[in-house]
C-alpha cells in the first residue's frame, strides 16, 4: 500500500516508528508530482531539498529522536507564501524567480513539525481568481476532468492533494480561495477564523480578509495541519493569542443535539440542482445522526459579492503598491526614463489583466467623489453581513450551505466575463467578510463524476465545533 | 454608470499603471459593468449602522520595546534590480530646476 494513501496521522505514526522511511515517502511524492506534471499544479518542485530533508529525518529517528506531528508528511505550499529554499512568485510575472529573504511563519511551523515541503503550487495571480486561469504560468487542470478548472485561487494546492501528489497543502483564502477549489476537487479545505493563523510571509491581497489554511483528503488530516499552523505569532499582530485546542480530538465528537442552521438565502437561483441535492442530502444525514436542522435567515447574503469586490479591491490597490520595480522583482527601465516611468512600465509589464482590473476598481472606489458611495457604504453593508452571522449563531451552532453554486466549470468558460467569475464565490464571501471559521468537505459527485462540496460555517474561533460536524458528515457519507 | 476612457486613464495614473491603447476598450466595458453591479450597495438601508466593522483583535497588541535583530542589509538588497553603495538605486527624480 502506498504511504500516500494513508491518513496523515497514520503516515506520521509509521514514519515516527520507522516502519516507513521519510525518504521512501519523499520519493513517492516526487514521482507522483512528476507523473502528473500535465495538471500544472506545481510552479516549483524542491526535489533535492526534499530528499535531503527526508534522509535527515530518517537519520534523526535512527538516533532515537522523536519526530514531529507531521513526520515525513509531504505538504505543498501555495506560491503566495514566502519560502527560503524555493522561489515565491504569487503566480505573477512581476515576481518571477524572486527569492524571499525570509520565510512565512506557517512554513517554519510545518518544517518544525517535520513535514516534507515538496514544492510551491500554482495559483491565480496574487490570489485573484476563482478558476486558476489567471496564473501567469498557465492554468491548473482539474484531475477529475482535465478540460475543467480546479477552482481558485489555491487551485494548485487543491489539485496536489486531490491527485495524490501530497497528503496536505497550504492555501490562502480571501473570499473562498481555499473552500471553492476544495469543493471543486473533492478535498477538505479549511478557512480558519480571522486571526487564527499567522499571515507573516503571506503576500498580502486584502488584509482584512486574508487567512492561511490547510487542504487534506479527510477532515482529521486537515485538523492536524491546522493544529500545527494555528496560534499566536509575535510577527503578526493580527494573530490571536487564544490557545489552540485539540482539533483532532474534536473530530471524534458526535453531533447529537447540535443545531445546524440552513439559510434558504444560499439555495436560490443560480444554484445547480444536482449540487443542491447533494448538499441537502448531506444535511439530512447530519439530522439522522441526531443534529437538529433549523431554518435561518441571512438576508444580506445577496450583497456579499458586491461588498467583497469593493473592499477587497480597495485593499489590494493599496497592498499591491509595493510592487514598483525598486526593491525586488521585475524592473522595466529604459535608458533616460525617470522614476515615475519606471514604476508605470514595471507595473504594466508585470501585472496580468485581472490584477490590473482589480487595482483600477480598488482605485476607483477609494478615489475622491466615490469613496463614500462605494467604499464606506460597502463597510456598512459588511457590518450588516456580520450581524446576519451574529443573529444566526444566537440560534444555531453551525451553518450548512453549498460551497460553490456549481461543480467545476470548463476551462475558458468565464474568462471573458469577470462578473460571472466573481459569482463563483457567492457562497464563500460572506463568511470571509464576517471573519468567521468555515470549511468545505466533499459530499458527493454529480452524474458527470465531478465533486460537490458542503460548506460549514461556525463562529470565530469555534474551529473545534466546525471539525466535529465535518468529521461526522465524513463518517456518514454513503 | 459608464466608466469612460478618460476615467480609466485617470485611474491608471493614480494607480501608476501605463495602459496600452488596446487594453482600454475592454477595461472600459468591464469596469462599467462591475461598477453598475456594485452600485446595488447604494440601495441597502444602512441607517442603523454606526461604525465601520472591524475584524480581528479589538486592540492592536503592543510588544515589549526592545531592540531586536532585523533583516540584514545584504539580505534585504539581495533581490533588488539595481544596488549602488549598499542602497536601492533608482533613476534621478529630484527636479532642482
- pLDDT per residue as tens digits for the range A247-272: 999 999 999 999 999 999 999 999 99
Complex prediction ipTM: 0.93
Long-range own/partner contacts, residues B28-34 (CB < 8 A, 24 or more apart): B28/B2, B28/B3, B28/B4, B30/A357, B30/A418, B31/A357, B31/A360, B31/A361, B31/A364, B31/B3, B32/B1, B32/B2, B32/B3, B33/A419, B34/A309, B34/A357, B34/A361, B34/A418, B34/A419, B34/A422
In the block, which residue shows the cell 459588511?
A382
List the Cα angle A430/A434/A435 in 5-degree steps.
115
DSSP state of A374: I
Summarize the confidence of residues A399-422 as an average pLDDT. Answer: 95
- The size of the A-B interface in CB pairs under 8 A is 166
B-chain CB neighbours of A310 within 8 Å are 38, 41
Here the CATH number for the domain that contains residue A137 is: 3.90.1300.10
Q: What is the Cα–Cα distance from A284 to A291, expressed in whole angstroms?
A: 9
Q: Which residues, 6 or more positions from A189, have their beta carbon under 8 angstroms from its beta carbon?
A: A154, A158, A171, A173, A178, A179, A181, A182, A183, A213, A214, A215, A222, A439, A440
Q: Which of A92, A130, A153, A432 is catalytic?
A: A153
pLDDT level of residue A160 (50, 70, 90 thresholds): very high
In the block, which residue shows the cell 483532532?
A248
Minimum CA–CA partner of A316 in chain B: B15
Q: What is the Cα–Cα distance from A8 to A359, expressed in whole angstroms?
A: 40
Share of chain B above pLDDT 70, in %: 86
Supply the pLDDT for residue A208.
95
Neighbour count for residue A111 (Cβ, 10 Å): 19
Among candidates A99, A339, A347 on the partner chain, residue whose Cβ is nearest the Cβ of B17: A347
Question: Per-residue pLDDT for A146 more than 80?
Answer: yes
Question: Per-residue pLDDT for A62 more than 60?
Answer: yes
The number of domains in chain A is 1
**A126-145 residues touching B, CB cutoff 8 A:** none
Tens digit of pLDDT for each residue in B55-79?
Answer: 555 666 777 899 988 899 999 999 9
Q: Judge whether A131 counts as a catalytic residue.
A: no
Summarize the confidence of residues A439-445 as an average pLDDT. Answer: 98
Task: Name which of B38, B54, B81, B94 to mutate to probe chain A: the one with the most chain A Cβ atoms within 10 A of its Cβ.
Answer: B38
Supply the pLDDT for residue B56.
54
Residue A249 lies in domain:
1-478
Amino acid at each position: 500500500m502506498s504511504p500516500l494513501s494513508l491518513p496523515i496521522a497514520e503516515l506520521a505514526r509509521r514514519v515516527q516508528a520507522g516502519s516507513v522511511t521519510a525518504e521512501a515517502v519523499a520519493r513517492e511524492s516526487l514521482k507522483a508530482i512528476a507523473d502528473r506534471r500535465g495538471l500544472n499544479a506545481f510552479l516549483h518542485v524542491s526535489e533535492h531539498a526534499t530528499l535531503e530533508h527526508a534522509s535527515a529525518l530518517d537519520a534523526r529517528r535512527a538516533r532515537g529522536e522523536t519526530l514531529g506531528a507531521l513526520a515525513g508528511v509531504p505538504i505543498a505550499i501555495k506560491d503566495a507564501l514566502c519560502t527560503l529554499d524555493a522561489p515565491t512568485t504569487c503566480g505573477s510575472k512581476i515576481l518571477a524567480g524572486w527569492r524571499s529573504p525570509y520565510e512565512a511563519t506557517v512554513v517554519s511551523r510545518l518544517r518544525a513539525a517535520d513535514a516534507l515541503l515538496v514544492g510551491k503550487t500554482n495559483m491565480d495571480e496574487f490570489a485573484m481568481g476563482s478558476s486558476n486561469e489567471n496564473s501567469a504560468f498557465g492554468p491548473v487542470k482539474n484531475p477529475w476532468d482535465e478540460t475543467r478548472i480546479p477552482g481558485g485561487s489555491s487551485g494548485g494546492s487543491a489539485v496536489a492533494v486531490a491527485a495524490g501528489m501530497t497528503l496536505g497543502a497550504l492555501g490562502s483564502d480571501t473570499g473562498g480561495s481555499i473552500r471553492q477549489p476544495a469543493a471543486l476537487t473533492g478535498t477538505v479545505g479549511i478557512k480558519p477564523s480571522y486571526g487564527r493563523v499567522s499571515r507573516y510571509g503571506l503576500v498580502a491581497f486584502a488584509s482584512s480578509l486574508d487567512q492561511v489554511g490547510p487542504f487534506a483528503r479527510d477532515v482529521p488530516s486537515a485538523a492536524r495541519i491546522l493544529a500545527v499552523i494555528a496560534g499566536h505569532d509575535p510577527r503578526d499582530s493580527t494573530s490571536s493569542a487564544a490557545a489552540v485546542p485539540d482539533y483532532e480530538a474534536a473530530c471524534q465528537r458526535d453531533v447529537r443535539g447540535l443545531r445546524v442552521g440552513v439559510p434558504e438565502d444560499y439555495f436560490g437561483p443560480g444554484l445547480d440542482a444536482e449540487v443542491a441535492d447533494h448538499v441537502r442530502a448531506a444535511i439530512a444525514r447530519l439530522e439522522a445522526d441526531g443534529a437538529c436542522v433549523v431554518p435561518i435567515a441571512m438576508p444580506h447574503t445577496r450583497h456579499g459579492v458586491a461588498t467583497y469586490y469593493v473592499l477587497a479591491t480597495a485593499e489590494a490597490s493599496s497592498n499591491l503598491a509595493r510592487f514598483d520595480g525598486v526593491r525586488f522583482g521585475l524592473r522595466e527601465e529604459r535608458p533616460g526614463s525617470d522614476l515615475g516611468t519606471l514604476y508605470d512600465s514595471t507595473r504594466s509589464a508585470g501585472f496580468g489583466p485581472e490584477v490590473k482590473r482589480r487595482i483600477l476598481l480598488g482605485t476607483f472606489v477609494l478615489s475622491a467623489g466615490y469613496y463614500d458611495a462605494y467604499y464606506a457604504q460597502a463597510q456598512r453593508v459588511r457590518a450588516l453581513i456580520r450581524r446576519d452571522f451574529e443573529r444566526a449563531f444566537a440560534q444555531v451552532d453551525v451553518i450548512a450551505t453549498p460551497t460553490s453554486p456549481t461543480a467545476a466549470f470548463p476551462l475558458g468558460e468565464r474568462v471573458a466575463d469577470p462578473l460571472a467569475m466573481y459569482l463563483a464565490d457567492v457562497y464563500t464571501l460572506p463568511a470571509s467578510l464576517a471573519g468567521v471559521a468555515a470549511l468545505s468537505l466533499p459530499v458527493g459527485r454529480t452524474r458527470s463524476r465531478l465533486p460537490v462540496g458542503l460548506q460549514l460555517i461556525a463562529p470565530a474561533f469555534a474551529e473545534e465545533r466546525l471539525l466535529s460536524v465535518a468529521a461526522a458528515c465524513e463518517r456518514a457519507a454513503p | 454608470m459608464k466608466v469612460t476612457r478618460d476615467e480609466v486613464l485617470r485611474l491608471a495614473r493614480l494607480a501608476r499603471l501605463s495602459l496600452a491603447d488596446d487594453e482600454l476598450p475592454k477595461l472600459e466595458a468591464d469596469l462599467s459593468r462591475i461598477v453598475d453591479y456594485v452600485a446595488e450597495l447604494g440601495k441597502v438601508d444602512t441607517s442603523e449602522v454606526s461604525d465601520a466593522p472591524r475584524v480581528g483583535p479589538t486592540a492592536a497588541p503592543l510588544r515589549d520595546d526592545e531592540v531586536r535583530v532585523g533583516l540584514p542589509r545584504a539580505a534585504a538588497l539581495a533581490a533588488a534590480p539595481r544596488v549602488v553603495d549598499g542602497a536601492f538605486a533608482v533613476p534621478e527624480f529630484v527636479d532642482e530646476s
